[in-house]
Amino acid sequence: MKNFLPVFLFALFKVSVILSDTQVLRPRGVPLTKAALYDGSKPFTCFDGSNQIPFAYINDDFCDCHDASDEPGTSACAQGFFHCTNRGYRSIDIPSGRVNDGICDCCDGSDEYDETKVSCSNTCLEMGKAMREEAERQRELMRSGFKKRQEMIDSVKNRKAEKTAAFANLELQVKDLEPQKEQLQKEKEAAEELEKVAKDKHRDAWEAFKKERDETRERAAAEESFKFFSPDQSPLTAEGLLSKLVKEGENLSDDLQQFIKGLSNVDFESYLTSVWPKIKDTYKSVQASLSEATTASPVVPTEVAPEAEKDDHLMDPYDEEEREAEDDHAYHPEDSAALSPDEDKMPDYSPETRQLIDTAEKARKDFTEFDLRVFKLNEEKTAIKKWLDNDYGPDFVFAALEDTCHEYTDREYTYKLCPFDRVTQKSKDGGSETGLGKWGNWENGYKEMKYTDGARCWNGPARSTKVILECGGENQLISASEPNRCEYQMTFRTPAVCTEPTQNGTEHLGLHDEL
């Protein structure tokens, strides 16, 4: 245990207590904030409670406390710190080992009080001046940035008001048009119904006509052939049929021969339904060869009775001219226009049906045009709503960046940031743009923008970009890098993130004032 009185006197005389400029008595190396902890009127308790010592032991160049709290102004405790007040500049704490080591660490020179080692001049005011000037410059920048931010907000406010009004207007318009659209739709549907009925009627009549026409022709052709096989129209026998067909040099297939051999006493009606369809083709070629022979020297089939000759004229039902002359079932729908030269082509609609079609077409056109008009208005509405619903940050300020793009070029690439749209990269050697991400979301408050889902990296993920926003007087992309392969980072300066500068504006620079 030390003898308290002599040490105290020594301490007072030799080492530690200094008066700060504000007349706050505190031991050397103690910051103003801790001055109250060093009360000279009572014994000192180490901050960690590890020891209690006479106050005179403070800064006696002997380490009594484990936490070094008894030696703030000497290098006695290795783990301690010395506080440089650095009046006029920034206060700092330096490791106590640097006290009186012959090197000036504090700009006020307070760490080198042993003048036998070094004499430090006080450079704090000079350094502080430069720092204050820089602080003022920064403050000015923030001030002008903040002013620009207000301008951005004002312009956006107007745009927002315009868009809100436009949206309300469009909503009204659409609401007004909706009943008209419904009316036009009803009219269209009614007209289309009438059109359908008329067209169906026309088509059905045409189909029925064709069916009847074809059946009549088929029957006539069958009749002709029946007469050919049986001029007296008596029921057919297998022999009769075979002889006529084979006689004319036709090679009948085994199947057909077998079929014919199984026939007996076939009257016309059963001939029409069960025999004619099977022998029709063979019969046609028989007729063809007969007519060839006739052209060379007219041959009248011996079986044909002279009086029957005229009636038994072998009409070729597939011969256009003959058929038309014969056909008294020509299609003459009450409302049809002239028959088309293509007999299987449906004739034109009647004027009445045409009228209904025209009416329906007009109703369709009117409705479609109107529908398109409403659709376009709705599209406009949706686009405005999307804009209004977007997260453009506090005061909607970031909306001012919409539809702008900003470029930054490094040694290899030109990077382009189009806020709320996308980020791209283009090689300076040319080639096409590579997508580095599409607008994704905000991060870290409104301080970072994330763009995701860019072009896929070869053998890797889709490219993505983080954009860090910092306050600046102008919108400007100031850096772009690729910290990890296909993960990009950009710094974008914009007034949009500037905050109102504080009164003296030096806090952010750490200029503590211990005046």
Map the footprint of ligand MAN across residues 271-310, applying CB under 6 A. none
* Least gap, CB of 401 to ligand MAN (angstroms): 24
Of the candidates 177, 205, 290, 457, which one interacts with ligand MAN according to CB under 6 A?
Answer: 457
458: contact with ligand MAN by CB under 6 A:
yes
- Asked if residue 364 lies in contact with residue 125, where contact means CB atoms within 8 angstroms, the answer is no
> How many H helices and E strands in the chain?
9, 14
Map the footprint of ligand MAN across residues 48-77, applying CB under 6 A. none
434: contact with ligand MAN by CB under 6 A:
yes
CB nearer to ligand MAN: give 295 or 459.
Answer: 459
All residues at 6 or more sequence positions from 43 whose CB lies less than 8 Å from its CB, including other chains: 52, 53, 54, 55
All residues at 6 or more sequence positions from 348 whose CB lies less than 8 Å from its CB, including other chains: 336, 337, 340, 354
Which of 408, 218, 234 lies closest to 318 in space, CA to CA? 218
* Least gap, CB of 485 to ligand MAN (angstroms): 5
* Least gap, CB of 436 to ligand MAN (angstroms): 8
CB nearer to ligand MAN: give 464 or 506.
Answer: 464
Of the candidates 485, 504, 508, 510, which one interacts with ligand MAN according to CB under 6 A?
Answer: 485
424: contact with ligand MAN by CB under 6 A:
no
141: contact with ligand MAN by CB under 6 A:
no
Residue nearest to ligand MAN (CB): 458
* Least gap, CB of 429 to ligand MAN (angstroms): 11
* Least gap, CB of 486 to ligand MAN (angstroms): 5
Of 102-110, 151-159, 264-272, 480-488, which part binds ligand MAN (CB under 6 A)?
A: 480-488
* Least gap, CB of 438 to ligand MAN (angstroms): 16
Of the candidates 75, 86, 425, 464, which one interacts with ligand MAN according to CB under 6 A?
Answer: 425
423: contact with ligand MAN by CB under 6 A:
no
Q: Convert 81-146 into a string of H (helix), E (strand) and C (coil).
A: EEEECCCCCCCEEEEHHHCCCCCCCCCCCCCCCCCCCCCCCCCHHHHHHHHHHHHHHHHHHHHHHH
Of the candidates 30, 486, 496, 497, which one interacts with ligand MAN according to CB under 6 A?
Answer: 486
Cβ count near 250 (within 10 Å)? 18
CA 178 – CA 186 distance, rounded (Å): 12
Q: Is 33 exposed, middle or buried (0-12, 13-18, 19+ CB in 10 A)?
A: exposed
CB nearer to ligand MAN: give 119 or 432.
Answer: 432
- Asked if residue 459 lies in contact with residue 438, where contact means CB atoms within 8 angstroms, the answer is no
User: DSSP state, 346?
Assistant: P
How many Cα atoms are found within 13 Å in the side-chain-facing hemisphere of 112?
17
- What are the residues binding ligand MAN (CB under 6 A)? 425, 434, 457-458, 482, 485-486
